Every structure is written in structure tokens, then in C-alpha cells.
Amino acid sequence: MQAPRKPPRRSASQRNNNGQRQRAGVTPAREDVERQFLDAAERLLLRVGYAGITTRKLAEEAGLNHGLVHYYFGSMQELLLQVLERFTDRLIERQEEMYAAPGPFLDKWRAAMRYLDEDEESGYSKVWYELQAMGWNDPEIRKRVANVDRAWFKVITKALDKAMDEYGLDRTQFPLEAVVTLVGTFNEGITLQRLSGIRSGHSALLKAIDRWLEELEIRKRQRKRTQ
Amino acid sequence: MQAPRKPPRRSASQRNNNGQRQRAGVTPAREDVERQFLDAAERLLLRVGYAGITTRKLAEEAGLNHGLVHYYFGSMQELLLQVLERFTDRLIERQEEMYAAPGPFLDKWRAAMRYLDEDEESGYSKVWYELQAMGWNDPEIRKRVANVDRAWFKVITKALDKAMDEYGLDRTQFPLEAVVTLVGTFNEGITLQRLSGIRSGHSALLKAIDRWLEELEIRKRQRKRTQ
DNA sequence: ACGCACCTTGGTCAAATGACTAAATAGCAC
DNA sequence: GTGCTATTTAGTCATTTGACCAAGGTGCGT
């Protein structure tokens, strides 16, 4: 990845529709090849970071000819943008699914904290943070990253709004927006630190929160019984 | 920045000491030139990110000949490592200074929160996070980043330890390590979000914390009076 | 089995890169 | 001034890069 010598062409999808159906009717084969490139790009993001991705390395990783990158995507920038798109769709979807599920908030919180470990394990975090780092130097990417963050913020807001009712928390003392921001930012902070191999204090913090939520859960049940 | 074709030479300082004194007696001129390169590197980190730095762009930014990079530092990797070194020394120093100052914790907290804005404004955050992102793909850099984080953790621990006494906080409910981790991670999270242009909820959170600390400060004074 | 749109290959190209160096120059000790 | 070392300049070099394309192959509809 470096500054392109010439501005890249708009995108492959624009030049290739010589009377051919747009996104709607892409051939399965085509979709397959595109997916292979996007998968390979994610693997490279994980392994070498965005700065280490070049058309040729990408093609090698995908086991495909390097000319295809240009044919299918028009440019690296476009490809990376599609990686971002696909990745974040999955991210938001998962998040919504999790919090929309039935059951007490405590369970959802624990599931979310499990994701923290799983995502580190699977390299999900690394890929997502590489995309973010790309965004720091690319307005178009940054815009999309910000959108995802906003969507994430919304999902957590909804979940925590319900949770505060559920546990009868005082909204004067803990304004919803502040709580959401605290939860969101400390999550990002933890992930960021882990990327640098730092884990000190994480389990202490998570344990303290878990204990606190557990207590709230117990009190909730007691309230129900005495009613 | 890309994989070097050959492993770079150890460092400029090793080849240049033809009987000449090591670091101790570097000529002022030399130190000056080195500083110019390091300054230029920071400016480029801020403006284009680590992936966009090349020896030639760096030399241009510094207004110096590109051959000098090799002469003085031996390689880009070495130069970037020195950028990190210098940068983080300043970071820790400032942090220690701030919390070591006299006065109530509330004041220190407010100073720290002001830094949050100042550092974004000045580009300090961007530089620091670019260095972190570099570390995600470079063990040597990552190690140093982790060290800085550890040092930062220690400083906050000391400060918050004192603060919890000062405000009489219950260490069973808020274990020191958990609190430190929460403060550290949400700080990093806020900075990270701001790099992507996200600011929603930040002021709400900071205001809520400020109000809470203010209340603690008032109660502290009341305690003193009634004693 | 023919036509034709689509796909794939294997390249070219100019520009850029990190590493490295010969030669000129500057600055200082004497 | 002379001599000598440290610094600086202006390159070279082998590679790599993103962009781009010609030519041939493939497979499907008919």
C-alpha cells in the first residue's frame, strides 16, 4: 500500500457492465473469486497489517493471478473498502443478534465478554483495528468506520437502556449516554491493549463488573419475589 | 515501508565510531540533524501514517538529503524505533509530573482530561497511535509500546491509590486494579474513537465523572471540617 | 458446433523504494 | 596552510510497486 501513481479507476463493477446485469446477477463464479480475494485480504490484515498488503501478495495469498485484482476491483483501495463493508456488516449483525436475544442482561454481558476473548483469539480484533488504522489516513474508510461505531453505539444503547430498567439503576447518577460511552470505550481500550500484548488488570476489571452485575441480578429476583 | 530486501545494518552509531566517542560525545551538529529527522518523522506519522513514510519522503520533510537517513540511522526501522523511544519518554515524564503535583485529585483528573483534548488537537494522539499500530506488526516496536503502557499503568495506579484514600472509596467494591484498568482503557478508547472522528457521548461521560468526583471532593472537605 | 461475452493469463511499464557508496566538502587540530 | 576525519551530496542498484492490457481460453446459449 502506497500512494497510487495515477488515480485508480472508479471500480471494476462499473467497467464490466457492458450490458451485463449489475450486482443483482453476478455469476456465482465471480462472487466466489471476489470472496476469495476478500478472505485473503482479511488474512493478510491479520498477518502483516494493511501496510503490507500489495496486489501481488494478495493474489498469492488467494492463490489467484495478480491481474485479477485489477480486473475485479479496479484498485486496491476499492478492494479494501469492500473488505471493510463485508466485515462490518457481520460485526453489527452479530452484536444486534446478541443483545436482542431473550434472557437477563447478565447473560448477554457475559456473552459479550466472551466475544472479547474469542475475537482476539480468532484475529477478528486485529482485522477490525487494522481497518480502523487505515481509516486514520483515509477519509473514505474513516467515514465507514465511524458509521459502524455509531451503529454499535446504538445497539449498546438499546441494550443498556433495557438493562438499567431491568436492574433499576438510577439514571441521574448513571446517565444512559455516559454509561454507554464508558462501556463502549473501555471495550475498545481493552482490545487495543491486547493487540499490544497488554493484559494486566483486565481480568480484575471484568471480574469486578461481573460481580456487580451478579449482585444486581440477585436483587432483581428478590424484588420480584417480594412483590 | 515494506519488507527490506536485506537485513539492515545494525545501526549508524556502530559503524561511525572509528575511534570516536560513542553516544556520550556526539557532536551538537549531529544531534541536531538527528533531531530534525525525528521531528520530520513525527510530522509524517501525523500527516500520512507510518505506512506512508519512506526514506525519501522523510528526507524531503526534514529538508535534508535522503542518503543521510541511512548514514545516521542505518535503516528506517532504527529511525522509527528512536522516534518511539523519544516520544514515549516525553509521554511518561509528563504523566508522572502531572500526578506527582500537589493538590486534590479532582484537579489532577481535570488536567488529565484537558490533555485528552490537547493531545488530539496537537496530533500527539495520532502519532502515538500510529506507533502502536506499527507495533501490531512489529514485535520489537510492540515490546516498547507495551513497556510504555506498563509505565503508564504504574503511574495511574499510584495516583488512584492515593485518590481512593483521599476520597475514602471502598476498595472491596472498587478494587484498585480494576479501577486503574477501567480508567486506562476508557481513556484509550476515547482517544481511539476520536481518531475516527467519533465524539458522541464523550462529553456526557466526562461530565458524569466530573460531577461524581466533585461530590467526593465536597464530602472530603466536610469530613475534614467535622473532624 | 458456433458465436460471443466473460474470464484468465502473463506479461509490460513507469515510478518508487531501501540499501548502499564514491566522491566532494567542511571543519577542526596542529 | 596542511592533514585528517566527519559530514554531505548525488548518485547507482536491484527490486517492488500499482496500473494496465493484449491475447488467448472457457463455457454457455442457441
For residue range A138-170, list pLDDT tens digits in order. 999 999 999 999 999 999 999 999 999 999 999
Report the candidate in B88, B91, B79 with the shortest Cα–Cα distance to residue B35.
B79
- Strand D close to A76 by CB, under 7 A: yes
Is the per-residue pLDDT at A7 higher than 90?
no
Distance from the Cα of A91 to chain B's closest Cα (Å) equals: 17
Residue A27 pLDDT grade (very low, low, confident, very high; cuts 50, 70, 90): low
pLDDT in tens, A113-140: 999 999 999 999 999 999 999 999 999 9
Residues 6+ apart with CB under 8 A from A88: A144, A145, A147, A148
Contact A146 B198 (CB under 8 A): yes
pLDDT in tens, B91-138: 889 888 888 889 999 999 999 999 999 999 999 999 999 999 999 999
Rounded Cα–Cα distance for residues B126 and A136 (Å): 8
Residue A176 pLDDT grade (very low, low, confident, very high; cuts 50, 70, 90): very high
- Strand D close to B54 by CB, under 7 A: no
Residues 6+ apart with CB under 8 A from A21: none
Residue of chain A nearest B200, judged by CA positions: A181
Residue of chain B nearest A206, judged by CA positions: B178
Report the candidate in A204, A102, A32 with the shortest Cα–Cα distance to residue B181.
A204
Rounded Cα–Cα distance for residues A209 and B170 (Å): 15
DSSP states of A153-212: HHHHHHHHHHHHHHTT--TTTS-HHHHHHHHHHHHHHHHHHHHTT--TTHHHHHHHHHHH
- The shortest CB-CB distance from A188 to any of B184, B192, B202 is to B192
CA-derived radius of gyration, chain B: 22
Residue A224 pLDDT grade (very low, low, confident, very high; cuts 50, 70, 90): confident
Domains and CATH numbers, chain A: 12-77 (1.10.10.60), 80-226 (1.10.357)
Residues 6+ apart with CB under 8 A from A178: B201, B204, B205, B207, B208, B209
Is the per-residue pLDDT at B151 higher than 50?
yes
| Beta-carbon pairs below 8 A across chains A and B | 162
Residue B27 pLDDT grade (very low, low, confident, very high; cuts 50, 70, 90): low
Rounded Cα–Cα distance for residues B74 and B133 (Å): 23
Report the candidate in A51, A47, A69, A49 with the shortest Cα–Cα distance to residue A3.
A51
Interface mutation vs chain A, best among B1, B56, B138, B186, most A CBs within 10 Å: B186
Residue of chain B nearest A177, judged by CA positions: B201
Rounded Cα–Cα distance for residues B67 and B44 (Å): 18
Q: Which residue has the cell 483469539?
A: A121
Contact A208 B48 (CB under 8 A): no
Secondary structure letter of residue B17 according to DSSP = -
Contact B227, A179 (CB under 8 A): no
Closest residue, by C-alpha, to the C1' of D17:
A54
SS3 A43: helix
Q: Measure, in angstroms, how far nucleotide D29 C1' is from residue A56 CA.
A: 35
Counting residues of chain A whose pLDDT is more than 70, the rounded percentage is 86
Work out the number of other CB atoms within 10 angstroms of the CB of residue A185.
Answer: 24
Phi, psi of A23 (to 5 degrees): -60, -35
Q: What does the block give as the cell for B2?
A: 515494506
Q: What angle do CA B142, B152, A193 make, to 5 degrees?
A: 45
Q: Interhelix angle for B105-122 vs B124-136, to 10°?
A: 80
Report the residue count for chain A. 227
Rounded Cα–Cα distance for residues A115 and A94 (Å): 10
Q: Measure, in angstroms, how far nucleotide C2 C1' is from residue A19 CA.
A: 22
Secondary structure letter of residue B170 according to DSSP = -
Q: What does the block give as the cell for B42?
A: 513525527
Report the candidate in B49, B55, B51, B46 with the shortest Cα–Cα distance to residue B75.
B55
